[in-house]
Amino acid sequence: MTDAVSIRQDILTRKTTATQVAERFLSRLAAIDPKVRAFLSVNKDAALAQAKKVDEKLARGEKAGLLAGIPVAVKDNLCTIDAPTTCGSKILENYRAPYDATVVRRLREEDAVIVGKTNLDEFAMGSSTENSAFFTSRNPWNLQCVPGGSSGGSAAAVAAGMAPIALGSDTGGSIRQPAALTGTVGFKPTYGRVSRYGLVAYGSSLDQVGPFGRSVRDAALLSQAISGHDPHDSTSVNQPVPDFVGQLDRDTRGLRLGVPKEYFSAGLDAEIRTSVEEAIAKLVAKGATRIEVSLPMTEYAIAAYYIVAPCEASSNLARYDGVHYGHRSKDYDDVTSLISKSRKEGFGPEVTRRIILGTFALSSGYYDAYYNRALKVRRKIKQDFDKAFESCDVIVGPTSPTPAFPVGAKVGDPLSMYLCDVYTVATNLAGLPGISIPCGLTSAGLPIGLQVQGRVLDDLGVLQAARAFERELALSLPWPSLT
Amino acid sequence: MAIDRKTVEKVAKLARLQLTPEELDRYGGQLGAILDYIAKLEKLDVAGLEPLAQAVETLNVFRADDPRPSLSRDAALQNAPEKTGDFFIVPKIIE
């Protein structure tokens, strides 16, 4: 098993073929996914056909794409014309998208080989994949534990070597938290850097598509392929995309690391605290500067997020009406009961909870007290970051307050699940780029994630700082045990 | 602060979710616990702040109003649970 950059190199230099690579990953997938359950659907024939096309293209001497022959796993809330797009929900169980998401189209244009669609919490709402309507994915490092979520399937697929890279989406930490829990690299780009066209909408002002990989370089490569302006998404940013891969290595000296004291307060696992502190110290020893910063709004971010995101969700999910697409109840009297019963039968408990919360917070009499106040707090959160970035280049801390937790540990208590994202939701509220990279293992052998956040549109700076950590830490994590 | 059944019932109706009485009570209790947590936002002074609906504030984006191809009718209807010819089927709404 190798990384995406080497796979591409080996294919281009004819050391191997895209077909051989696809066969190798598909056979590993077939052998271990029954244990990990990362994938909702796998299309072996389509993957092999695509690999063959890449090999033929190379044989004809044509220019190969950025992802030539690299197997990629795709989160199942991204529309694909040739595979189901279920969003982990019963309501979309039989849905076939009539178009490709822009990021999926870009994968195809860059000659990637899509191996399958990965499991997620229903509509990307959750931190463990336990809210999937189909099954719970497992953490390759300990099969009794969750892989995090909502992009838990993509994270587990990459961690277990079933695909070298994968796409996820991040609304409040849904790429970075599962990356932390599975020992992978997961990057949430600046809001607007990557098109959301064809990403099933959850919280539209927060959602962003991003990559998983087993190295910062692989995450940068996939970012390169999917970033850029898209006329189909009016919120996509019309700015040139830097050469993420070519400029990845920068001098550690002079890098100013902002360390917010609020990220190291009560509630943080002691081993995670030590590991992240040691990583920062290591970079300082190599010439980076540690700057103490403060983000006083940290303790309010979850509260603001759980108003803003459910409000947007309640509006976005109004489209599921049992008429245009998706589940339709068999048992109704009139159009209102058709819609109300189809939705009740199609949505799981967490989605229902967030629709109720969002509808409540937007309803007459509560709008100002909840939604409008949360948006003002969101302004304060952004101002917090603006102030911190006056004195540092990036902000560094833990990604998740705890390592992977056992399946079932938090399902009875929604609020305890929400608190998994205490260090990640503010990034989305402020639209910043953020990444999680592995920085060690706990004594129980579970991965620890370190988060780097940067200024709006400084995706390159975040990738460079993450690469500096990766280079100086020089971790060589073993492969997960799959037990 | 548990949210009473009547309020949850009203919200569920607005959201077009047909819930059982038992579900109304369960979601009401959970909603109350979440709102208790969210109440911490009331401690913050937000006077004079503009609401921030979107973090990377972009201006309106326009395009020329030219006709161009869109999803075909067949593709748009391909997932309809019930359809006839070029139409989605809904229960009769006019007496």
Question: Could you tell me the domains of chain A?
Answer: 4-254 (3.90.1300.10)
Res A299: pLDDT: 95
Its pTM stands at 0.98
- If you ran DSSP here, which 8-state letter would residue B69 be given? -
Of A94, A45, A14, residue with least CA distance to A322:
A94
Contact A375 B52 (CB under 8 A): yes
Active site residues of A: 75, 150, 174
CB-closest option in A299, A324, A352 to B88: A324
Rounded-to-5 percentages of helix, strand, coil across chain B: 40, 5, 55
Say how far apart CA A454 and CA A250 lie, in whole Å: 15
Residue A101, by phi and psi: left (phi above 0), alpha (psi -120 to 50) or beta?
Answer: beta
Residues of B in contact with A99 (CB under 8 A): 71, 75
Residue B74 CB: number of other CB atoms within 10 A? 9
Say how far apart CA A130 and CA A148 lie, in whole Å: 9
Res B59: pLDDT: 74
Contact B44 A300 (CB under 8 A): yes
Q: Which SS3 state, helix, strand or coil, does residue A321 take?
A: coil
Domains of chain B: 5-43 (1.10.20.60)
Q: Which residues of A286-301 are buried (b: 16+ CB within 10 A; e: fewer)?
A: eebebbebebebbebb
Say how far apart CA A452 and CA A454 lie, in whole Å: 7
Say how far apart CA A6 and CA A29 lie, in whole Å: 20
Residues of A in contact with B58 (CB under 8 A): 192, 234-235, 237
Strand order in the sheet with A113-118: A39-42, A113-118, A71-75, A165-170, A208-213, A185-188, A434-441, A447-454, A394-398, A256-260, A289-293
Residues of B in contact with A415 (CB under 8 A): 33-34, 37
Residues of A in contact with B61 (CB under 8 A): 234
Using DSSP bridges, classify how beta strands A113-118 and A39-42 pair: parallel, antiparallel or unpaired. antiparallel
Res A288: pLDDT: 98
Dihedral angle at the C-alpha atoms of B4, B7, B10, B12, nearest 10 degrees?
-60
Write the burial class of residue A15 (CB in 10 Å: 0-12 exposed, 13-18 middle, 19+ buried). exposed
Res A1: pLDDT: 61
Cβ partners under 8 Å of residue A222, min gap 6: A4, A67, A72, A165, A167, A211, A212, A213
For chain A, which residues score pLDDT lower than 50?
none
How many helices (H) and strands (E) would you count in chain A?
15, 11
Res B62: pLDDT: 87
Q: Which SS3 state, helix, strand or coil, does residue A139 take?
A: strand
Q: Which SS3 state, helix, strand or coil, does residue A58 take?
A: helix
Q: Which SS3 state, helix, strand or coil, does residue A23 take?
A: helix
Handedness of CA A24, A29, A31, A36 (dihedral sign): positive
Say how far apart CA A54 and CA A68 lie, in whole Å: 7
CB-closest option in A304, A314, A431 to B15: A314
Q: How confident is the model at residue B94 (pLDDT cuts 50, 70, 90)?
A: confident
User: What is the tens place of the pLDDT at every residue in A205-261?
Assistant: 999 999 999 999 999 999 999 999 999 999 999 999 999 999 999 999 999 999 999
Contact B81 A235 (CB under 8 A): no
Say how far apart CA B95 and CA B92 lie, in whole Å: 8
Of A214, A219, A220, A211, residue with least CA distance to A245:
A220
Length of chain A: 483
Contact B81 A334 (CB under 8 A): no
Say how far apart CA A410 and CA A148 lie, in whole Å: 12
Using DSSP bridges, classify how beta strands A289-293 and A256-260 pair: parallel, antiparallel or unpaired. parallel
ipTM score of the complex? 0.96
